[in-house]
Amino acid sequence: MTYNGYSILISSFLFFRIIYSIYSEKIINELFQAKNYSFLVVIPWLFIYGKILVNPEILYGYPKLKKRVAEIQNQESVNNKIWVFHAINISNIQDKKLSNNINKSVMSYVSEIENFVNKEHPFRKSKFSFSDFAKTINIPASHINYIFKYHCKITFVEYKNHYRIKDALKLINEGYLDNLTLEGLASKVGFSSYNSFYTAFKKQTNLAPKAYLTNLDYSNSQNVSVQY
């Protein structure tokens, strides 16, 4: 049992011990005797123990609170259009064994992947492979393969292109094309050719790059924010 489990067990035991004490005193008619004011002390302690069970960061301090906040932020930042976390039917025997070690950490792995991609922009390298990704992010390749196989709605190649286009849209929004061409932008975000950039861009935005820029110019002139 973990330290967290032992602490909850002890808190639960103390909680029920106090309840038992109140019950015992009531049975022998001593609860409200002037010589015994234990009931006045019991109520605050009941509240404290209940609060600890609901909010363990009180017991463990800032590290526990920081972890909980990080988990909430990670859940909010994960793109649910790409990732899925519900129960999965796994038929492969090896994957079933692997799932026992991975399932509890799926959210953590996905958050780590997303944070890494958004901060480091690894896909700007045109020949950045799956094995390169596993080595760079320092997560076992088998774990990453499992995550993309069972928890990602798109393939790794599609995932790369998705974030390359997301990167391109962000650079466009920051004025990257004021001095450079679309071909230069395609190369900047990791596409080996403009044609592959064009195809991925249109698939993700439903617009050709030049049509997107035309719409963007119009939106800017109307003071409308464009999402990317």
Which burial class, exposed, middle or buried, applies to 167 when counting CB atoms under 10 A from its CB (0-12, 13-18, 19+)? buried
Domain coordinates in residue numbering, the chain: 3-60, 87-221
Look at phi and psi of residue 100 and say left if phi exceeds 0, alpha if psi is from -120 to 50, else beta.
alpha
Q: Is the pLDDT of residue 136 over 60?
A: yes
Q: What is the mean pLDDT of residues 158-174?
A: 95
> pLDDT at position 91, please?
82
User: Do 110 and 147 form a contact (C-beta atoms < 8 A)?
Assistant: yes
User: Do 8 and 53 form a contact (C-beta atoms < 8 A)?
Assistant: yes
Alpha carbon distance 201, 207 (integer Å): 7
Q: Is 0.85 surpassed by the pTM of this model? A: no
Q: Rounded to 10 degrees, what is the CA torsion of 74, 197, 132, 142?
A: 60
Q: Is the pLDDT of residue 34 over 50?
A: no
Which amino acid, one-letter code, is at 213? L
Name the residue with higher pLDDT: 89 or 17: 89
User: Do 40 and 25 form a contact (C-beta atoms < 8 A)?
Assistant: no
Q: 87-221 in CATH: which number?
A: 1.10.10.60
Q: What is the mean pLDDT of residues 79-90?
A: 81
Q: What is the mean pLDDT of residues 201-212?
A: 95
Alpha carbon distance 209, 168 (integer Å): 10
Number of Cβ within 10 Å of residue 120's Cβ equals: 11
> pLDDT at position 163, please?
96
> pLDDT at position 155, please?
95
Which amino acid, one-letter code, is at 218? Y
Alpha carbon distance 134, 138 (integer Å): 6
> pLDDT at position 200, please?
97
Q: Which of these ranges, 11-15, 201-205, 214-218, has the smallest mean pLDDT?
A: 11-15
SS3 assignment, position 218: helix
> pLDDT at position 202, please?
96
Residue 27: pLDDT band with limits 50, 70, 90: low
